Amino acid sequence: MNTPAKVDQTNAYFDIVLKVVERCNLNCPYCYYFNQAYDGNKNAPQMSDRVISELPRFLRRSVEKLNLAKLNIGLHGGEPLLMSKKRADNLCTRIRELEDTVSISFSLQTNGVRIDDEWVDIFAKHQINVGVSIDGNKELHDSKRPDHFGRGSYEAAVRGLRLLQEAVAQGRLRSAGVLCVVHATADSEKLLEHIVSELGVRSPSLNFPHSGWDNPATVEWSRQVESHRKIIRYWLDNLVYPEFHHVRSISDVLLALSSDEGARRKDRWNSRRHYIATISSEGVVHVDDNLLGVDTSLQNSELTIWDTSLADLVSTPLWQELDEAVDHLPTECESCEWCRSCRGGHLFNRFSRQSRFRRKSVLCDTIKMIHEEIAGYLVRKRVVKLKELADRLSNPISVTARGEFESLMSKPSVEEPAAMLL
């Protein structure tokens, strides 16, 4: 009897966004979850004990059905730290019990206001990668991230960040991140300077608008290319050499343009960028929560975590539409020189009610600018030659969303899945 060959599962993963709390102690006007097409307030305030009890079984079924090697679990909200510490600890403990069959990584995004020593203990116990949302200096942050009484939250957020950084210095946590929403301002180049130099964050993440063509504020944001250019140039001039600072949303472009391996890695990431499942406080299974705030038609779901798995989600008509959108680029994108690296941008930025996902990204002008600035930098610094870059970008895209899913479903089960982050 022949022994089945072991399958390389290194890249078989799924991102899970757990809406552990669907309320927030802040009232950010740009919030995609409360102040756009979706209203998280309609759901239960917190994830119930019944959902927490069933969740590990749902995840285990999903791992078995899709032959997954890793689950990236994001504790999200609302504001996840409105959850009691005891229930948060219990939730993570129950999910960690799945590590007999799958690798688990935890992340948590918070406004930082409620971080204290006890929360840090929980983060350290479960090795949770924590990101604090800080939108720049005190003046800018307080104007964009007030509480429900209009009071600023900068000082409390920074206080929380300092507790995380202290735990990193003690070796208790691996990192303390900052997620910064990019707003168009006259001195936008000071954004990264503040986060890196004044707050001491080595690898911040930048967030661009999470909405599409139907949102006037996003359309206006997209016109402010010169404001956004200042951020990119500051990063290239100050944070790439001699000490590289990885900044999500722009570093991946540099890596993709620098080498064939980087380009292939981005091909695969682009094909799977929608491989995100959102589980509401009531146990309803949705697609990427970034899509929920774009239009009501993307919010409908009849799936719950009871007696289903992620295999059921990826078989739904909506998921098939997302696969189709990833695999077939808008006509406007086909002749673009940056097509391979960009691949049409995020689906939520391509959406309009009139044409669904068939338009180019509403952020297209900024995306092009980022590629142009980074490509020019790499050529000037002789990291790549112009012809080498042109050849790399002209290679056809071979990795598809449907191919990724079909390869998962066709893999035989293995007893020891290989270990494989949000």
pLDDT per residue over 258-280, tens digit each? 999 999 999 999 999 999 999 99
Query: What pLDDT does residue 38 have?
Result: 73
Residue 399 has pLDDT above 90, yes or no: no
Q: Taking each helix axis from N to C terminus, what angle separates 251-258 and 260-271, rounded to the nearest 10 degrees?
A: 130
pLDDT digits (tens, 9 = 90+) for 330-372: 999 989 999 999 999 999 999 999 999 999 999 999 999 999 9
- Is 138 exposed, middle or buried (CB count within 10 Å of its CB: 0-12, 13-18, 19+)? middle
- 148 HSE (CA, 13 A, CB side): 5
Residue 361's pLDDT is what? 97
Q: Work out whether strand 276-279 and strand 285-286 pair parallel, antiparallel, or are unpaired.
A: antiparallel
Strand partners, 284: 304
Choose the CATH number for 13-409 among 3.20.20.70, 3.90.1640.10, 2.60.40.10, 3.40.190.150: 3.20.20.70
Instruction: Give whole-number Cα distances, 185 to 134, 188, 263, 300, in Å.
Output: 15, 5, 32, 36
Q: Which residues pair with 132 in a beta bridge?
A: 110, 178
Query: 184 and 228 in contact (C-beta within 8 Å)?
Result: yes
| pLDDT for residue 404 | 67
pLDDT surpasses 60 at 41: yes
User: Where do we find the tokens 């998280």?
Assistant: 40
Residue 346's pLDDT is 96
Q: What is the pLDDT of residue 312?
A: 97
Cis peptide, bond prior to residue 209, ω within 30 of zero: no
Predicted confidence at residue 161, as pLDDT, reads: 98
- Cβ distance 110 to 81 under 8 Å? yes
Whether 366 and 228 have beta carbons less than 8 Å apart is answered as: yes
Omega before residue 212 within 30° of 0, cis:
no
For range 52-70, the mean pLDDT: 96
What is the rounded CA–CA span in Å between residue 99 and residue 271?
27
The torsion angles phi and psi of 54, rounded to 5 degrees, stand at -85, -25
What would the pLDDT profile of 157-175 be if each residue is shown by its tens digit? 999 999 999 999 999 999 9
pTM of the model: 0.90
Cβ–Cβ under 8 Å, residues 284 and 301: yes
Q: What is the CA radius of gyration of the chain?
A: 21
Q: Look at residue 8 and tell me whether its pLDDT is greater than 60.
A: no
Angstrom distance (rounded) from CA 264 to CA 273: 14
Beta bridge partners of 277: 16
- In this prediction, residue 420 carries a pLDDT of 22
Looking at residue 271, what is its pLDDT? 92
Residue 103: alpha-carbon gap to chain centroid:
19
Angle at 182 between CA 176 and CA 185, to 5 degrees: 130
Phi/psi at 243 (nearest 5 deg)? -115, 120
Q: Average pLDDT in the 107-113 region? A: 97
For 188, what's the count of Cα atoms within 13 Å in the CB-facing half-sphere?
20
Q: Please provide the DSSP assignment of 110-159 as one string.
A: E-STT--HHHHHHHHHHTEEEEEE--SSHHHHHHHS-BTTS---HHHHHH
The three-state secondary structure class of 260 is: helix
Share of the chain above pLDDT 70, in %: 93
DSSP states of 263-288 as a string?
A: HHHHHHHHHTTT-EEEE-TT-BEES-
Q: Report in angstroms the alpha-carbon separations of 245 from 200, 241, 379, 413.
A: 11, 9, 20, 39
- First CA to last CA distance, the chain: 41
Mean pLDDT value across residues 16-22: 96
Q: How far is CA 238 from CA 50, 170, 224, 245, 374, in A?
A: 50, 28, 22, 9, 13
Tell me which residue of 142, 155, 249, 144 sits closest to 204, measured CA to CA: 249
Domains of the chain: which residue ranges? 13-409
Per-residue model confidence (pLDDT) at position 2:
32
Of 269, 265, 203, 266, nearest to 235 by C-alpha is 203
280-304: per-residue pLDDT in tens?
A: 999 999 999 999 989 999 998 999 9
